[in-house]
Structures are given as C-alpha cells and as structure tokens.
Amino acid sequence: MTDIKDPAGTTKALTLFKTMAIMSGLALFVLIAIIILNGGFGKGGASAVWSPIHGMIYFVYVISIANLGFKVGWSLPKMVGIMLTGFVPLLPFWAERRFVAEVEARLAPARR
C-alpha cells in the first residue's frame, strides 16, 4: 500500500516536475551562454529578452516542486533545497533524476 493519497494527481505533478526541471536546466545554460557572449552582466540585447523568460521558467519550476512536494509529503526544507537547484548549472538535471526515482518508487505499489 502506498502512502500517497492521490496517485493520479501525483503522477501528473511528477510529469510537470520532470518537464520543468529539464526546461529550467536548459534555460539556465542559455542564460549563462548569453551572459558570456555579452561579456558580463551588462544590460541589453539577448540578455534583456531571455532573462525574464528564464525567470518565468524558473518560477514554474518552483511551483512544480511545491505542487509535487505537498502531494508526496516532503518537508518545507526539502522543497526549498530542491528549489535552489535551479541556481546551479546541472543540478536541475540531477534533481530530476533523483526525486523522480524517489517518487516513482513510492507510486509503484499504487500502480499494481
């Protein structure tokens, strides 16, 4: 028996989390590339366009973490820790692999 009360809702939340983790990681790489090409954190050009887009992608990533976290019963410090992965290149990809595996293991009994 699974400890997850809404397996269908959790599966949907997990899919959103997977998608947003990958998008957030990719968006961070694009932002870093733009900053490097601009020669720093100066305003203008592609940075002025991509920064708000990256911010929205990160915001949805944070919402997807909170949504999944509340469904599976994660603690607030754990959710905040996962949210912080969006600030470090490669960590969103690591978080996606690690926490998807954790949640899928908890969902497995409900899928039988």
Residue 31 clears pLDDT 70, i.e. is over it: yes
- pTM for this one? 0.89
Distances (CA, A) of 89 to 3, 25, 36: 33, 7, 14
Count the residues in the chain: 112
Q: What is the mean pLDDT of residues 84-101?
A: 93
Distances (CA, A) of 14 to 45, 46, 63, 66, 97: 35, 32, 12, 11, 11
In the chain, domain spans: 7-102
